[in-house]
Every structure is written in structure tokens, then in C-alpha cells.
Amino acid sequence: MTGTEQEIRESDLVDHVVAAFDETPDPRLKELMRALTRHLHAFVREVRLTEREWQQAIDFLTAVGHLTNDRRQEFILLSDVLGASMQTITVNNQAYGDATEATVVGPFFVEGSPEIPLGGDLAAGAAGQPCWVEGTVTDATGKPVPNARIEVWEADDDGFYDVQYDDDRIAARGHLHTDADGGYRFWAIVPTPYPIPYDGPVGRLLAATGRSPMRASHLHFLAEAPGLRTLVTHIFVRGDELLDRDSVFGVRDSLVKDFAHQTPQTPTPDGRDLDGRPWSRVRFDIVLAPAVTAS
Ligand SMILES: [Fe+2]
């Protein structure tokens, strides 16, 4: 058989499958399925996928599905380690002036976090070095945004979020609102690295490809205000050795911040007594893009 004949057979099949979606009533679904077909076939043809590899892929996806339930989402984890989650976020958060960059939401956001006052402590007993976090929320013209809602959540010093413990604790998460000048401030803890769950098929994929499950240290933020694009992001710790190999590709240079270490002798901004412990401080000024009007 000539190469040409082989190529014709393969490309004819692609055309045939793409055409099978021609009658899809929903135009967006039609576009998605036709493009998915083209890219999937291009992958199979480019790597000359063997039948054994196809079976391994089926077995892998089956294992991902079997592990997934309402508390463990192995498919999202797979999307995350392939960078597909981050790419979707990038596509859907168009660059706009100085607007703060978005990054992955991750699996540990929960509704109904406690409200804390400005200057309050959202650590709520979570282990870790105290960290004073402050900044402003402005729109893309630099105008302060009063009463913006800021939601924050993070892992403790042992690398676990409160929801990963079995005791119903609520710690290292909370929300607050900016003051009349768009300012905010609160106590949290210095973020530390932690691994994504790696005891399943996604973990085995990372091991087989020589990749680490570790995430760079980060503090999650969600900021929202009427008329402005809701921002879901993190800040990262400058100097963290994991910045260039974050397992879910969430790091953006603009989100890497200086967490300035303070000696126990340094007075705290609000006079809080830390019992002789060292602490840190970080500033994060948030710029929100205008909300995109639906077209
Ligand atoms: Fe996280």
C-alpha cells in the first residue's frame, strides 16, 4: 500500500466523522464536536497510536472515573495537571490593562465561609506563621472599589485545608469587604507548599513522567464587586523553589509577591501581641477588569 493510499484512508475517516456532526442543531455543540474530532484524530495519527496504547488510555480514563465521587474529582485533577484548566481560565480572562491575572480555583473553595472584620484573623487557629495581608481593590482606571467582597482560603502549615480534616473545623478561610477607600487588611498565615492528591491514576501519571505533585505555596483570593469581572486568583511567595514547576501551571509572574519576614521584636501593624513569634507581611493590590457584557 502506498503512503498516499494510507493518507487518503486516514483523512477520509476524519472527514466522515466530522460530517457526522453536520446536522447538530446547536451550532456551538456542532463546532465543539467537529473541532474535537479533528484534534483527536490528528493526535492519533501524529503519534501513530497503537491498539495497546489505546486500551491503556481507556483503562486510565476508567480508573479516573472510578475514583471520582462528590468529594474526589480526579477528572479535574487530570485537567489541572495537563494545564487544560489553566488554559481555559486564560482564554476566559482576557488580558485587560493592569487587571490582576486570574489563576486556577482549585478544589478547596467552599461556600459559606465566615465573615471577618477588617484587620481580623482568618487563620482561626490554623498552624502557621502569622502573616499580615493588606492591599487595595481598584478598577482598571485606578478608582478605589469600596465594599468589594474578598474571599481568601489557604492550606495550613501541614499542607492541608480545613475541609481535608474530619473534624468539621473552619480555619484559614474567610471573607471580608473593602473599606470606603477600597482598602483591606487581615491576618492569615504564611502559605506553604502542598501536594495535589497523588494516590490515584493522576498521581501515577505524574510519577511515570517524572513530575512532582507539589503546588507552589499560595494564598487563594476571590474578589468581586458589582459591574466588575470576578477575579479568582492566588498570590505566590517570591523565592519559593516550586514557582517554575507548579504541578497545575497556576503561577503567573505578576502574582508572585514579597512576603517580608519580620522579627518578633517588630511591632505589628495593629498592635496584635504574637507572644514573641516572628511574623510576615505582604501587600496585594487587586485591579478588577470591567465585567464583560453578554453578547
Ligand atoms: Fe490551593
pLDDT in tens, 258-278: 999 999 999 999 999 999 999
* Residue 293 confidence (pLDDT): 47
Ligand 1 centroid vs 106 CA: distance in angstroms? Answer: 6
The secondary element (H helix, E strand) that includes residue 84 is: helix 84-92
Q: Can you give 188-244 as a three-state secondary structure string?
A: EECCCCEECCCCCHHHHHHHHCCCCCEECCEEEEEEECCCECCEEEEEEECCCCCHH
What Å distances lie between residue 272 and 168, 276, 285, CA to CA?
A: 28, 11, 23
CB 204 within 8 A of CB 185: no
Q: What's the pLDDT at 221?
A: 98
Cα–ligand 1 centroid distance for 82 (angstroms)? 17
Structure confidence by residue, pLDDT tens digits, 69-104: 877 889 999 999 999 999 999 999 999 999 999 999
User: C-alpha grid cell for residue 285?
Assistant: 493590590
Entry field: residues in the chain: 295
* 30, HSE (Cβ side, Cα atoms, 13 Å): 9
Phi, psi (deg, nearest 5) at residue 126: -60, 140
CB atoms within 10 A of CB 167: 5
CA–centroid distance, residue 252 to ligand 1 (Å): 15
Pairing type for strands 194-195 and 149-153 reads unpaired
Which range, 104-108, 165-169, 173-177, is most confident?
173-177
CA distance 94 to 248: 20
Taken in order 123, 127, 130, 134, the sign of the CA dihedral is: negative
Question: What separation in Å is there between the alpha carbon of 139 and the centre of ligand 1?
Answer: 26
Confidence of residue 1 (pLDDT cuts 50, 70, 90): low
- pLDDT per residue over 105-156, tens digit each? 988 888 899 999 999 999 999 999 999 999 999 999 999 999 999 999 999 9
What separation in Å is there between the alpha carbon of 250 and the centre of ligand 1? 10
Question: Of 95, 99, 94, 185, which Cα lies nearest the Cα of 142?
Answer: 99
Segment 185-244, tens digit of pLDDT = 999 999 999 999 999 999 999 999 999 999 999 999 999 999 999 999 999 999 999 999
Grid cell for residue 139: 478598577
Report the SS3 class of residue 99.
coil
Inform me whether the pLDDT recorded for 43 exceeds 90: yes
Q: What is the DSSP-derived secondary structure letter of residue 70?
A: S
What pLDDT score was predicted for residue 185?
A: 98
The grid coordinates listed for 246 are: 507548579
Longest dimension (CA), the chain: 82
Instruction: Tell me how far the alpha carbon of residue 266 lies from the centroid of ligand 1, in angstroms.
Output: 29
How remote is the CA of residue 38 from the centroid of ligand 1, in Å?
35
Measured CA distances, 268 to 102, 185, 264, 278 (Å): 30, 12, 9, 10
Please report which helix (H) or strand (E) contains residue 81, including its range. helix 74-81
pLDDT number for residue 2: 63
Q: What pLDDT was estimated at residue 295?
A: 41
Distance 45 CA to ligand 1 centre (A): 37
As residues whose CB is below 5 A from the ion ligand 1, the structure lists 106
pTM of the entire structure?
A: 0.88
Residue 294 has pLDDT above 60, yes or no: no
Residues 213 and 248: their CA atoms lie apart, in Å, by: 9
CA distance 172 to 194: 15
CA of 268 relative to ligand 1 center, distance in Å: 27
Find, among 149, 141, 99, the residue nearest to 288 by Cα: 99
